[in-house]
Amino acid sequence: MGGWKLSRETEGISIYYRWLNTDSLRTREMRAQFFIHAKIPAILRQFTKVENYLSWAVGIKECRIKIINDSSWVTYALMDYPWPMKQKDLVTRHVVKKSRSETEIIIYAEPKAFPPKEGIERMQNYTGEWKFVSAGEGNTLIDYRAVSFTKPVFPRFILDPVIQKLFIDSFHELKYLAETQ
């Protein structure tokens, strides 16, 4: 596992990548770090309500959320990627773990939790993590990581700018919603 390398920094959001090797695939893990001027509960609310999620998750055309309990839910997200990328969906289980100063949302693919849609490719191998660390004075450090173990169809020089823009726009929207609600 390699070290993190800064790929892009814009308006307080830093995007990093590192290489991961498995038996059959070499892929990259993405990491983003930024601050939100809101407490952790205000940020968590943005993940469990469909209307909130659709407001901040840029590039998501459709979303459904099944609440399992106070610390777990399953999200269905239909991506609205620009051409020439294929339309995909992703079903993920989210599990919240709390300690005194930080909260984590552990994310992993659970593709069978929602029925498949005809003509839509379902992402199968995906993991992620949101870490929210209290930084004092109402600020929270956000540390997001995600990795897909699906071989990309297009080269990185085509995908990276598109994916980074979607993520950065999403992080700005999440920040705005958490700070204003």
Each residue's pLDDT tens digit, 95-139 = 999 998 899 999 999 999 999 999 999 999 899 999 999 999 999
| Residue 4: C-alpha distances to residues 19, 27, 37, 143, 170 (Å) | 8, 13, 25, 13, 22
Backbone angles phi, psi at 2, to 5 degrees: -85, 175
Give bridge partners of residue 72 from the DSSP assignment: 69, 95
CATH number of 5-180: 3.30.530.20
Global pTM? 0.90
Higher pLDDT, 1 or 127: 127
Task: Say what the pLDDT of residue 86 is.
Answer: 75
Q: What residues does each domain of the chain span?
A: 5-180
pLDDT above 90: residue 23: no
Task: Say what the pLDDT of residue 100 is.
Answer: 86
